[in-house]
Amino acid sequence: MFFQPNSGAARPTRLLQALLLAMLLAGFSIHAHAQFAVNSGQSKLAGGLLSTSARLTLKITGDPAQALSKGIGLTIVVQTRLYRASLASWYFKVANWERRFRVEHHALSNRYTLTQVATGTTDDFPTLTETLSAIGHFATTVDLPAGTHENDDLQMRLQVSLDRKSLPGPLKLVALIFKDWQLRSSWGRWKVKTR
């Protein structure tokens, strides 16, 4: 019988390493499947008005979808930022806007409502997919900010996210920890065109 002091310790270490690698790969595969995304966008400037339209992919599954079905409303925020190029070709933020949408499920009618928070305008839909699709065809028009000119080199950036701060108290903590609740697209960006 040979004495091998490291053989017993090596097996748990290898097992632990394999387990950590599997968890890491599983985390990457889950994270790689984006639930919120900016697919495309364009911004046009004419007559002092800046019009932006974007196509967004919005998918709510898992715990957020279950919370919605239990009557907890979710707020989705579409944030747009206008940047201007400097002499060194760096872009500096000159304006920021956001549109907030409140999504709610009504158990009695088994329908979803979508409310534009700023205006109070509400539409109802038979499915969550149709509700999110209405946000996914995003369009807005704003005044060109003071100090910005039509001949400036302008860039628009847009992001869509779930507002976790608007959740009820205990759910805020859960939303900070679990990935199902961390719904946020990367920033889409494009040049502002003049007509």
Comparing CA positions, the residue from 156, 162, 159, 154 lying closest to residue 178 is 162
pLDDT band with cut points at 50, 70 and 90 for residue 14: low
Angle CA(109)–CA(114)–CA(120) in degrees, nearest 5?
Answer: 115
- Residue 19 pLDDT exceeds 60: no
Per-residue model confidence (pLDDT) at position 12:
54
pLDDT tens per residue, range 103-160? 999 999 999 999 999 999 999 999 999 999 999 999 999 999 999 998 999 999 999 9
Per-residue model confidence (pLDDT) at position 86:
81
Per-residue model confidence (pLDDT) at position 170:
86
State how far the Cα of 2 lies from the Cα of 66, in Å rounded to an integer.
58
AA identity, residue 147: G
Per-residue model confidence (pLDDT) at position 33:
44
Give all domains of the chain, ordered by start, each with its CATH number. Answer: 1-33 (no CATH), 34-194 (2.60.40.10)
pLDDT tens per residue, range 23-80? 333 343 334 345 999 999 999 999 999 999 999 999 999 999 999 999 999 999 999 9
Q: What sign has the CA pseudo-torsion 101, 102, 105, 109?
A: negative
pLDDT tens per residue, range 81-91? 999 988 776 88
